[in-house]
Amino acid sequence: MLEHLVVRLSTTPGKASWVVLDSAGQRLAPVVHGSLEEAAGEAANRRVLLLVSGLDAVCSRASVPVRSAARLRQMLPYSLEDTVAEDVERLHFAAGERDASGGVPVTVVTGGRMEDWLADCDRVGLNPERIYCESDGVPPVPGCIAVVAETDCTYGRAPGQPPFALQGVSLEETLQVAHSGEEEASDPPHVMLFADTEGYARCENEVGRLRERGIGIDAQLLREGVLPRLGATLIDLPGCNLLQGPYGHKTDWQSWLRPWRFAAALLLGLLVLAIGGEGARYLALGRDDRNVTAMLETACRVNAGSGDLASCEAEVLRRLVTTVNGSEAGFLAALDRVTRAWNEDTRLEALSYRTGVMDLRVLAGSVSTLDEFTREISSSASFQASIQSANPTQDGILGRLQVTANPQ
């Protein structure tokens, strides 16, 4: 089972908190607080997700029509330069998966902060597979404004809007910010509040007042803190991975392929053997084809007077459709008539044709079935069928029929 180590950087340098989650986002161990170096010691055989401060990042949304990832990264700074205060040349733009409406979620951080985070990870030997802004961990709740409250920081997400992080604001102010991104609605918003112990104590009085004003609020107390909730959301719905563009992982193909050298050599050997075997089979089939062609040419010279296969084929077709007793009922016509008269209770055991007479040995389910088959052949003006013999067997009635052409 794949395990995720979700590490959350603290505002105190070198400190972090972490938790181990399974692939479904369920907690496998308690939340631990300690040094970033201690967190790195838990990373073996686990996928590492690093969460950075939502106060150091801006989550937005862009409408960029291009599909290429490289082209998208080039256009994002210019499509969002009016929404950021700093020079876009100093910022790092990370794009997420395009949503159903065609919009692209974007997380913006300064290049300096990215370098600081990566330097801290390098110092302790932590190699995160993905780096997310904490705000992306706010769970999207359909039809609700989702709020995650801690001691002095509040995260929010309105339906269809990017998440955000605020510090030192009340719950009511958070809802105003979340509601400002939506269209005006006559009904008051419904709120889903996730809070740790300190965050709920900070918002508890406001929850009562807001409910009295008709705002529905469902609260969930997170006694282990908000980290497991943020991590579970990002496992289920990955946000904008900051490790892209200049900060993306560089693939070391040589080290990646090194463990597979023996397997690759073995596969190459099998491929050579397979190609050699197919080549030998092709040569054998070519030899067989030449032998069969020589046999056909000999048979054609004996029976059709010519060794040319095309001329032989034309002669065979002419003989098959030749007239019998002045009628057009040759072998092919007789065979067509027998085929049309066939039924599911009849099985052909043998067939011969000579000088306008077709002899059939047929196994039928009953005498009446054999008789019906015979009458159906004779219903044509071109042929006459007669039963020569009918003998019962353990499988049915074995009959011998003779089909002849009617003279014109």
> Residues 143, 89: one domain?
yes
Closest listed residue to residue 49, CA positions, set 238, 226, 252, 256: 238
> Residues 168, 64: one domain?
yes
> Residues 337, 232: one domain?
no
Per-residue pLDDT of the chain (408 residues; tens, 9 = 90+): 789 999 999 988 889 999 999 999 999 999 999 999 999 999 999 999 999 999 999 998 888 777 777 777 777 877 787 777 778 888 998 888 888 777 889 999 999 999 999 999 999 999 999 999 999 999 999 989 999 999 889 999 999 899 999 999 999 999 988 877 555 545 677 999 999 999 999 999 999 999 988 899 999 999 999 999 999 999 999 999 999 988 887 655 565 666 778 888 888 889 999 999 999 999 999 999 999 988 888 888 887 777 788 888 887 777 666 554 444 457 888 888 888 888 888 888 999 988 778 899 999 989 899 899 898 888 888 888 999 999 999 888 999 999 988 876
> Residues 205, 59: one domain?
yes
Asked if the structure places residue 313 within a domain, the reply is no
Closest listed residue to residue 383, CA positions, set 363, 401, 365: 401
DSSP 3-state of 25: coil
In 2-46, DSSP assigns E strands to 3-9, 15-22, 32-35
The pLDDT, as a whole number, for residue 48 is 96
Asked if the structure places residue 307 within a domain, the reply is no
Asked if the structure places residue 310 within a domain, the reply is no
Asked if the structure places residue 315 within a domain, the reply is no
Exposure b/e, 17-42, CB count within 10 A at least 16 = b: bbbbbeeebebeeebeeeebeebbeb
Give the bridge partners for 147, in sequence order: 156, 193
> Residues 214, 273: one domain?
no
Burial tier of 107 (Cβ tally within 10 Å: 0-12, 13-18, 19+):
buried
State which of 234, 268, 302 marks the end of a domain: 302
Beta-carbon contacts of 336 under 8 Å, excluding residues fewer than 6 positions away, are: none
Closest listed residue to residue 245, CA positions, set 57, 33, 73: 73
**Domain of 334: which CATH number?**
3.30.1360.100
Closest listed residue to residue 347, CA positions, set 302, 395, 280: 395
Radius of gyration of the chain (CA): 41
> Residues 65, 147: one domain?
yes
Asked if the structure places residue 239 within a domain, the reply is yes
> Residues 217, 89: one domain?
yes
How far apart are the two ends of the chain, measured CA to CA in Å?
Answer: 84
> Residues 365, 333: one domain?
yes
Residue 158 structural domain = 3-250
Beta-carbon contacts of 147 under 8 Å, excluding residues fewer than 6 positions away, are: 138, 154, 155, 156, 171, 174, 175, 178, 191, 192, 193, 194, 195
> Residues 179, 265: one domain?
no
- Output the six-digit token pair for 176: 């105003």
Domain count, the chain: 3
HSE (CB half, 13 Å, CA atoms) of 229? 21
DSSP letter string over 169-187? Answer: --HHHHHHHHHHTSPP-SS
> Residues 73, 202: one domain?
yes
Residue whose structure tokens are 């733009």: 93
**Domain of 235: which CATH number?**
3.30.420.380
Asked if the structure places residue 148 within a domain, the reply is yes
The pLDDT, as a whole number, for residue 408 is 61
The pLDDT, as a whole number, for residue 327 is 47
d(CA 228, CA 233): 9
Give the C-alpha distances (Å, rounded to integers) separating 26 from 217, 223, 228, 229. Answer: 25, 15, 8, 9
Asked if the structure places residue 223 within a domain, the reply is yes
Residue whose structure tokens are 């889903």: 192
Exposure b/e, 260-290, CB count within 10 A at least 16 = b: eeeeeeeeeeeeeeeeeeeeeeeeeeeeeee
In 281-369, DSSP assigns E strands to 346-354, 357-364
- Output the six-digit token pair for 275: 């190609």
> Residues 178, 145: one domain?
yes
Q: What are phi and psi of 189, to 5 degrees?
A: -70, 155
If residue 278 lies in a helix (H) or strand (E), which one and from where to where? helix 261-303
The pLDDT, as a whole number, for residue 61 is 87
> Residues 61, 191: one domain?
yes
Asked if the structure places residue 325 within a domain, the reply is yes
d(CA 47, CA 20): 10
If residue 133 lies in a helix (H) or strand (E), which one and from where to where? strand 130-133
